[in-house]
Structure 1
Amino acid sequence: MAHHLRQGDIFAVGAQRLQMTESIELTIQSLQAYGPTHEHWGIAWSGGKDSSATLTLLMYLLDSGKIQRPKSLTVFYADTRQELPPLAIAARQIMDELEERGVHVEVVTAPLDKRFMVYILGRGVPPPNNNTLRWCTRQIKIDPMQHALEQRLAELDGNVLMITGVRQGESAIRDKRIEMSCGKDGAECGQGWYQKVLPEAKGLHGRLATLAPLLHWRVCHVWEWLKHWAPEAEFGDWSTATIADAYGGDEAEEINARTGCIGCPLASEEKALETVLQNPAWAYLTPLRGIKAIWRELREPQHRLRKAGIERLKDGSIAANPQRMGPILLESRLMALERVLAIQAECNVAAERLGRPRIDLIAADEEGRIRELIAVGTWPDGWDGDEPVATTPLDKVFADGAVQPLLFA
């Protein structure tokens, strides 16, 4: 219990911030206020710092009898297949610890054909970008979670409380934004502890509410819980220290640590991966730096098809972006697949030598499906595969249908 006294390590000198025990007490109050009115609880867990702190704290409060147990508890782990290895490995350890406690963990993954690697390398859809094609988050995380919730609700009688790791920090207390009431009518999503209806919950018929019991926690409390409290036997002996290490260990708060997918195409810099690689224990994953370069290269015209002229949509109208670049060439997909597999193999050879965890950027079933989709010549909707390569010189077509011929054939 020495952690309660080490305030100097947690807070800046002179700052009037919530103490750890006060933060936990407010969390208990929120769970006591709303938990008993829902027979079934679910926890949305991404494996990141906030949701992992929420999950392990909730389990401690249940196991210690500080809050009343629901009729059923289901943990929904969002496995995007793209998480940084330290987070994915810590998640597997925590899943084992949950199963030992008799807690059901449902691993939520996108269908095979919609997973990140299969969608790009098998179907040929270009890597996501921040402008016109940001398909990844919804497809590999949000939609699968929604589907899993709908399936679970269909199995249960009564209503379900979905617990999330959303946080607003101390400002939520200071600005009196936490309201112990329903936030359904006119309230901004996430502005209160409790939301009566999950947004966009099609088919859930108002039976699902969400609770953010760590809404008021400061990030320093999250680090303190993950690094020092949760790993102790008194609080559950959880494998959470690895999560803090993935964000930068003792420097995590100072570097404003965030994590994302391996080689995220949407990030300008690979800060999360570089933070991991600075830890000697994870340095064997250095080849992962090559992933982002592959996605960057696949966006280039020499690897893609292009619409040759005016493109008519299903309703007969003319597309606003004639001669747009499209999917990735079959041979370019094969090239990229071999490069990703080579990176994976290089990491795993080092892992075997060092006795460190192996990684699977592309699992065996995913590789098989990618090769199958390439072999049968799969293209995204609206593309036949006989369009010209995007580097082919073409007459210029404008949105109004006007054509400017090539000056030089």
Structure 2
Amino acid sequence: MSINEVNPKRSAFSQYGIKQVIEDSIAHIKHLYLSDAIPWVIGYSGGKDSTATLQLVWYALQQLAEEGKATKKVHVISTDTLVENPIVSMWVEKSLGRMEQAAEDQNLPITPHRLTPDIKDRFWVNLIGKGYPAPRAKFRWCTDRLKINPSNNFIKSLRDKNGEAILVLGTRKAESATRAALMDEYENSATNTRKAQGLTESGAKDLQRVWIYAPIGEWSNDDVWIYLNSVKNPWNFPNHDLMGMYQGATDGGECPLVVDQSTQSCGDSRFGCYVCTMVSEDKSMNAMIANDEEKEWMMPLVSLRNEIEVNDPSRDKKLDKLRRDKSNRDFRRMDGRLTVHVTKNGADLVPGPYLQSFREHLLKCVLEAQVAVQRMGPPEVKGLELLPLEELEAIRAIWLKEKHELEDSVPTIYEKVIKKPYPGERRAHHPILNKETLERLKTYCTQQGDEEGLLYQQLRAVMSVANKHRNQLRRAKLKDELSDVLDKGAFSSMYEAKQFALERERHNLQIKLNNDVSLEDEEKIDIRDKISIITQSIKEHGYSSLLIDTVEVE
């Protein structure tokens, strides 16, 4: 089927009927399963498409088990980002538990796996710990770390042990024109040597020799629901409950009977992370709360997202959010560099990570949301931890060791919000690097005109580096580390740093204009325009509002 022929409403059951299509699908799955020794991995999210796909494979394995041929292991993987919608996360966890028990009872070679990101890759560790700004179109740092890496690492490990692997997915051409185009491209690729078997290439560079199998690739949205409502879930996890979850996440709370192409189908909801800032609104979570007052305990999670989100359908509101976002960020990049960005309407510094004050504020907000959810929610979320100890300790280590924030404020914030002793490692009292000394140092710096706290940060970092090396016999890296923190703290204010960076950029452009004989006339005009823009922007205090307006909103 070509991309132009894709119709999201056209049923795969219309020609031969649902019974025949399902029988043919199961027969094909059995044939493919028996054709080689390549291990299978099924991607399972708990949603309707992956559930339908897994059901087909499960029933095929049941038949093979009766024939004594179900000998090859099938791995079911589900990636929990640890910032998922908690309703969906709990649903998937229960489903995996039922799956494991049912596979054992039915003597099937199915093994479920709940995958999670490495601690260093987790959302709050990067956002609160390192200070990464909330994900956005030009800096979408979350997807690889939270979703792709855990599953890819599992798949690659299996592939490396066996030479190849087959990844079974619930992707469908009717999901979107883009999805259909990609599926067609990989299916009809000249290098797809297994097209005859119904397989396609993965398309991912690091998943070479991993083949994609999409048993419901031609199904419509309604086909999926018809199948799920017609065929019993083989691991005893009722499909009508799944439909109820989708219904609760649909605006208006309705999943109507589809009678013609004008009727809106159920199940178009998209479940994702409750902190996702790639969209302007978490429609599924908001619908869940609106449709069921017993789910109002999730409101603190919505509020938490609002602390960091920068999207809004309204241009003016989005600008306000972007300005607020920039005010919470350092003018230096993570490594201390000053980066200049020039547009036709202004020149400015590119903001870096979140400031210490805002990161501490976010930590407090997350812990407060955790307390509120545990207090307001049903029994199954009474023990829900938005920030488990291992993540708190990872954040703490980053603040102390990488950012030299010797105040060690994680335990203090935790105890203030949770009202319990901090359960992490207790640090010994340092005779010099303690809160009292640091407070006196900050006061002294303020008295010396350190309004933005940059001098204090520099002196604190120097003390931290010196303390780190004081008991080491070899201090080979001491000089470099001291040089780094001194360079990073070379400016007494953001205004001074901005002037320096813009002057440097203007100087470099002028040198290029004067000496580069290969420049075309248009390039020379462009450089002169940039020099003029930088000259106008040098005297502007703070971050430029013009840069926000012209770069981040359009």
Q: Describe the superposition over 1:309-350 as per-residue Cα deviations: whole angstroms up to 9, x where unpaired.
A: xx979xxxx865661011011221111011011112111112
Q: Which has the higher helix share?
A: 2
* 1:44-101 deviation digits (Å, cap 9, x = unpaired): 2233331232123322332244996351111121121122112111111111122211
- Tell me which of 313, 323, 329 is aligned to 1:304: 329
**Counterpart in 1 of 2:550?**
none
What are the equivalent positions in structure 2 for 1:255-270 lying under 5 Å apart?
256-270=268-282
For residues 364 and 408 of structure 1, what CA distance do their matches in structure 2 show? 41
Q: Which has the bigger relative contact order, CA under 8 A and spacing at least 6? A: 1
RMSD value over aligned CA atoms?
4.1
Aligned partner of 2:141 in structure 1 is: 135
Match of 1:347 among 373, 376, 380: 373
TM (normalized to structure 1)? 0.77
Residue by residue over 1:189-234, the C-alpha shift from the partner in whole angstroms, topping out at 9 and shown as x without a partner, is: x9x9411x432253x652x211001112221232344456344xxx
- Matched residue of 2:307: which SS? helix
Provide the rounded CA distance (Å) in 2 between the counterparts of 1:77 and 1:319: 42
Give 1:251's aligned residue.
Answer: 254
For the residue of structure 1 that corresponds to 2:288, the secondary structure is: helix
- Is 2:150 the counterpart of 1:144? yes
CA distance in 2, matches of 1:341, 1:57: 42
Deviates more, 1:21-30 or 1:325-334: 21-30
Give the structure 2 partner of residue 334 of structure 1: 360
Instruction: Provide, for residues 329-377 of structure 1, a one-character-per-residue CA deviation record: whole Å limited to 9, x for no partner.
Output: 12211110110111121111122xx434343322221122122222334
Out of 274, 281, 286, the position equivalent to 2:299 is 286
The aligned residue for residue 452 of structure 2 is none
- Runs of 4+ in structure 1 deviating by more than 6 angstroms, as ranges, are 387-391
Give 3-state SS (helix, strand or coil) of 1:87's partner. helix
1:272 correspondence with 2:284: yes
- 1:171 and 1:137 map into 2 onto residues whose CA distance is 20
Identity within the alignment, %:
22
CA distance in 2, matches of 1:387, 1:16: 71
Partner in structure 2 of residue 99 of structure 1: 100
Larger Rg: 2
Q: Which amino acid aligns with 1:108?
A: L
For 2:387 and 2:187, the matched residues in 1 are separated by: 43
Q: What CA distance in whole angstroms lies between the structure 1 residues aligned with 2:15 and 2:286? A: 31
- Partners of 2:92 and 2:388 in 1: how far apart? 18
Aligned length: 375
Q: 2:220 aligns with which of 193, 205, 218?
A: 218
Q: For 1:327, what is the secondary structure of its paired residue? A: coil
| Aligned counterparts of 1:125 and 1:240: Cα–Cα separation in 2 | 39
Indicate conservation of the 8 Å contact 1:306/1:326, yes or no.
Answer: yes
Q: Which of 93, 113, 120 is 2:120 aligned to?
A: 113
Unaligned runs of 5+ in 2: 1-8, 105-109, 256-264, 310-320, 343-347, 405-483, 509-530, 543-554
Asked if the contact 2:134/2:277 (under 8 Å) is kept, the reply is: yes
Q: 1:389 to 1:182 in 2, by over 3 A?
A: farther
Equivalent of residue 38 in structure 1, options 19, 30, 36: 36
Q: Report the alpha carbon displacement of residue 256 of structure 1 after superposing the two structures with TM.
A: 2.9
Query: 2:502 aligned to 387, 397, 400, which one?
Result: 397
Per-residue CA deviations over 1:234-266 (Å, capped at 9, x if unaligned) read x44225444433322573534732222113111
Hey, what does 2:436 align to over in structure 1? none
Give, in whole Å, the separation in 1 of the partners of 2:174 and 2:240.
Answer: 21
Does the 8 A contact of 2:46 with 2:95 survive in 1? no
Amino acid at match of 2:84: E
Mapped contact 2:341–2:349 kept (Cα < 8 A) = no
How much does 1:268 deviate?
A: 0.8
Runs (5+) with no aligned partner, structure 1: 1-10
User: Any conservation in 2 of the 1:302–1:391 contact (CA below 8 Å)?
Assistant: no
Distance in 1 between the 2:119 and 2:183 partners? 40
The Cα shift of 1:153 comes to: 2.5
Question: What amino acid does structure 2 have at the position aligned with 1:372?
Answer: A
Question: Relative to structure 1, is the Cα distance of residues 329 and 408 closer, same or farther in structure 2, using a 3 angstrom cutoff?
Answer: closer
State the secondary structure of the residue aligned to 1:77: strand
